[in-house]
Structure 1
Amino acid sequence: MTQQQAPRVTIASRLFAPETGAAAYRLKALANGLAERGAKVRVITTRPPRGLTGANGDYQVSRWPVLRDAGGNVRGYIQYLSFDIPLFFRLLISPKPDVVVVEPPPTTGLIVKTVCRLRRIPYVYFSADVSSSAAKGIGVKGPALRLLTWMERWVLRSAAGVLAVSEGVRQEISALTGREHGIHMVGTGVDTDTFSPVGDARPEEGTFFVYAGTMSEIQGAGVFVDAFALIAQDNPDVRLLMFGQGVELEALKARAEAIGPQVQFRPPTSGSEVASYFRSAIASLASVRPGKGYDFAFATKSLAGLAAGAPTIYAGGGPMVELIEENKLGIVSEWDPASVALAMKAMIASPVSEADRSRLATWTEEHFSLRSVGQAGAERVLSCMKGKA
Structure 2
Amino acid sequence: MSDTAPAPRPPRRRAVVVTRLFSPEVSAASARLRALTVAFAEAGWDVEVLTTRPPTGTADVADPDGVRVRRWPVLRDAQQTVRGYVQYLSFDLPLVLRLLVVRRPDVVICEPPPTTGLVVRVVCALRRVPYVWFAADVWSDGAASAGAPGPVVRAVRAVESWVLSGARHVLSVNEGVTERLLLLGVRPETVQLVGNGVDTDVFGPDDVPEGGSQVRGAPIPEPYAAYAGTMSEWQGADVFVRGFAQVLDRLPRDARLVFLGQGSALPSIRAAADELAPGRVDFPGVVPPPVAARWQRHATCALVSIVPGQGYDFARPTKIWAATATGTPVLYAGVGAAAEQVEREALGEAVDHDASAVAEGLVRAFAAPPSDERRARLADWTREHASLRQVAREAVAGVLRAIGLPG
> Which interval holds the TM-score relative to the shorter structure?
over 0.9
Q: Which amino acid aligns with 2:358?
A: V
Confirm or deny: 8 A CA contact 1:278 1:310 kept in the other structure: yes
Q: For residues 310 and 51 of structure 1, what CA distance do their matches in structure 2 show?
A: 26
Q: Which amino acid aligns with 1:55?
A: A
Confirm or deny: 8 A CA contact 2:301 2:331 kept in the other structure: yes
Name 1:300's counterpart in structure 2: 318
Q: For residues 74 and 192 of structure 1, what CA distance do their matches in structure 2 show?
A: 27
Q: Which amino acid aligns with 2:229?
A: G
Q: Which amino acid aligns with 2:40?
A: L
Q: For residues 258 and 346 of structure 2, what CA distance do their matches in structure 1 show?
A: 24
Q: For residues 351 and 286 of structure 2, what CA distance do their matches in structure 1 show?
A: 26
Q: Which amino acid aligns with 1:308?
A: T
The equivalent position to 1:42 in structure 2, one of 23, 48, 60, is 48
Pair 1:246-2:263 in alignment: yes
Name 1:168's counterpart in structure 2: 176
Q: Which amino acid aligns with 2:13?
A: P
> What aligned pairs does 1:42-61 form with structure 2 within 5 A after superposition?
42-49=48-55, 50-58=57-65, 59-61=67-69
Name 1:141's counterpart in structure 2: 149
Higher RCO (CA 8 Å, separation ≥ 6 residues): 1
The equivalent position to 1:320 in structure 2, one of 335, 338, 342, is 338
> What aligned pairs does 1:1-389 form with structure 2 within 5 A after superposition?
4-49=10-55, 50-58=57-65, 59-201=67-209, 203-204=211-212, 205-235=221-251, 236-258=253-275, 259-386=277-404
RMSD over aligned Cα atoms: 1.8
For residue 343 of structure 2, give the secondary structure of its aligned residue in structure 1. Answer: helix
Q: Which amino acid aligns with 1:385?
A: I
Q: For residues 100 and 289 of structure 1, what CA distance do their matches in structure 2 show?
A: 34
- Alignment CA distance shift 1:3-1:301 (3 Å): farther
Q: For residues 130 and 272 of structure 2, what CA distance do their matches in structure 1 show?
A: 48
1:20-74 deviation line (CA, Å, top 9, x unaligned): 2211111111111111111111111112222322112121111122221111221
- Alignment CA distance shift 1:186-1:152 (3 Å): same
So what's the TM-score if we normalise by structure 2? 0.92
Q: Which amino acid aligns with 1:37?
A: A
Runs of 5+ unmatched residues, structure 1: none
C-alpha deviation, 1:337, in angstroms: 0.8
Runs of 5+ unmatched residues, structure 2: 1-7, 213-220
Confirm or deny: 8 A CA contact 1:202 1:280 kept in the other structure: no
Q: For residues 367 and 358 of structure 2, what CA distance do their matches in structure 1 show?
A: 14
Q: For residues 200 and 16 of structure 1, what CA distance do their matches in structure 2 show?
A: 27
C-alpha deviation, 1:200, in angstroms: 3.9
Q: For residues 199 and 76 of structure 1, what CA distance do their matches in structure 2 show?
A: 39
Deviates more, 1:148-157 or 1:116-125: 116-125
Q: Which amino acid aligns with 1:344?
A: L
1:123-147 deviation line (CA, Å, top 9, x unaligned): 0000000000111112123211111
Q: For residues 74 and 24 of structure 2, what CA distance do their matches in structure 1 show?
A: 15
Q: Which amino acid aligns with 1:266?
A: P
For residue 48 of structure 2, give the secondary structure of its aligned residue in structure 1. Answer: strand
C-alpha deviation, 1:108, in angstroms: 0.7
Q: For residues 379 and 199 of structure 2, what CA distance do their matches in structure 1 show?
A: 12
For residue 11 of structure 2, give the secondary structure of its aligned residue in structure 1. Answer: coil
Deviates more, 1:235-244 or 1:46-55: 46-55
Q: Which amino acid aligns with 2:387?
A: S
Deviates more, 1:230-239 or 1:151-160: 230-239
Name 2:217's counterpart in structure 1: none
For residue 11 of structure 1, give the secondary structure of its aligned residue in structure 2. Answer: strand
Confirm or deny: 8 A CA contact 2:164 2:186 kept in the other structure: no
Q: For residues 406 and 169 of structure 2, what CA distance do their matches in structure 1 show?
A: 9
C-alpha deviation, 1:254, in angstroms: 1.1
C-alpha deviation, 1:387, in angstroms: 7.7
Q: For residues 185 and 86 of structure 2, what CA distance do their matches in structure 1 show?
A: 27
Confirm or deny: 8 A CA contact 2:110 2:132 kept in the other structure: yes
- Alignment CA distance shift 1:344-1:308 (3 Å): same
Deviates more, 1:81-90 or 1:299-308: 81-90
Confirm or deny: 8 A CA contact 1:232 1:262 kept in the other structure: no
Q: For residues 69 and 9 of structure 2, what CA distance do their matches in structure 1 show?
A: 19
Q: Which amino acid aligns with 2:68?
A: Q
Structure of greater Rg: 2
C-alpha deviation, 1:334, in angstroms: 0.5
C-alpha deviation, 1:384, in angstroms: 2.4
Deviates more, 1:3-12 or 1:167-176: 3-12
Report percent identity of matched pairs: 45
C-alpha deviation, 1:343, in angstroms: 0.7
